[in-house]
Amino acid sequence: MMATILVDQDLCTRCGICSAICPSRIIDPADEHALPIVKDAKAGMCMQCGHCEAFCPSQALLLNVRPDEKVGIPAGAGAISPSELGYYLRKRRSIRHYRADPVPRETIAEVLDIARYAASGGNGQPVEWIVIHDPKKVQRIAGLTIDWMRTLLNTDHPMSGYFPGLIGAWDAGHDVICRGAPHLVFPHIPDAYPIAAIDAIIALTHFDIAAPSFGIGTCWAGFVAGAAAEYTPLQHEIGIPQGRKVAYAMMFGYPQYTTYGIPRRKPLAVEWK
């Protein structure tokens, strides 16, 4: 059986952190005679989360999952002061006015590459992505979302009361669905995976947070997400693979306007127990 972890005996200090940090507690700690090891009987319990590798202070341990792809962290990389991080997150806005110039596919792939490191239950990593890059197809999706709304007029759908105004605005020539965004991104998940929907929202939040560092603006596309969950013509237009479903939707593109201030929010509400 292939070894679960690879340990450099010259670098290993036998500190025991790898065995302590392992969520599955399957790494037998080192002693003066042996290096850390995952015995064959426990190997199937490995979630491949990489905690053992990430927390090894001497970088002696390597999780044996595509080990040739290991990337080190340069000294000081990723260090962000609390104040800088606070400003970065507070200035994030939902963008509803976009420039026409498209975001290059290579740039979008960079943002998604960051989002794939989002947490997921049991490190299942169930989230995959569909990017609608063609602005004309984005508009078709917006139109199909309106068509979905038309089917629900005068029904007991919980959102039906909002639909007449949106349909009227669309018919008058205003894109109240995708707001003229050039692109959409859909995280999709397996049909039968109870916690995958939460994993998808976590991953999409990573996309939402990472995008502004690339100059990209985002907005959560709730109407599109609602239609994608229920309306077969829209599902076909998106091209959702069989056995999977859309978890949500996000519009994005280069913002037409720049953020210069931070609006107020409700005071922090917290109870200390």
Enumerate domains of the chain plus CATH numbers. 5-68 (3.30.70.20), 93-253 (3.40.109.10)
* pLDDT of res. 76: 87
Stretch 131-156: mean pLDDT, rounded?
97
Among candidate residues 95, 186, 93, 92, the one with its CA nearest the CA of residue 138? 186
Percent pLDDT > 70 in the chain is 100
**CA distances in angstroms from 113 to 108, 187, 212, 213, listed in the order given:** 9, 13, 15, 14
Q: pTM for this structure?
A: 0.93
pLDDT at 223 over 80: yes
In this predicted model, what pLDDT tens digit does every residue of 45-82 receive, in sequence order? Answer: 999 999 999 999 999 999 999 999 888 888 889 899 99
* pLDDT of res. 51: 94
Place of tokens 């605005």: 169
The average confidence (pLDDT) of the chain is 96
Tell me the pLDDT band of 187, cut-offs 50, 70 and 90: very high
Stretch 145-167: mean pLDDT, rounded?
95
* pLDDT of res. 210: 98
CA–CA gap between residue 214 and residue 35 (Å, rounded) = 43
* pLDDT of res. 97: 98
Is the distance from CB of 93 to CB of 180 less than 8 angstroms? no
* pLDDT of res. 59: 93
Residue with the larger pLDDT of the pair 74 and 107:
107
Among candidate residues 208, 230, 233, 219, the one with its CA nearest the CA of residue 159? 230
Joined together, the tokens standing for residue 11 give: 């670098």
**CA distances in angstroms from 40 to 61, 80, 132, listed in the order given:** 17, 40, 44
In this predicted model, what pLDDT tens digit does every residue of 188-220 receive, in sequence order? Answer: 999 988 899 999 999 999 999 999 999 999 999
Helix (H, G, I), strand (E, B) or coil at 129: strand
pLDDT at 1 over 80: no
> What is the enclosing helix (H) or strand (E) of 229?
helix 222-230
In this predicted model, what pLDDT tens digit does every residue of 4-14 receive, in sequence order? Answer: 999 999 999 99
* pLDDT of res. 72: 85
* pLDDT of res. 75: 86
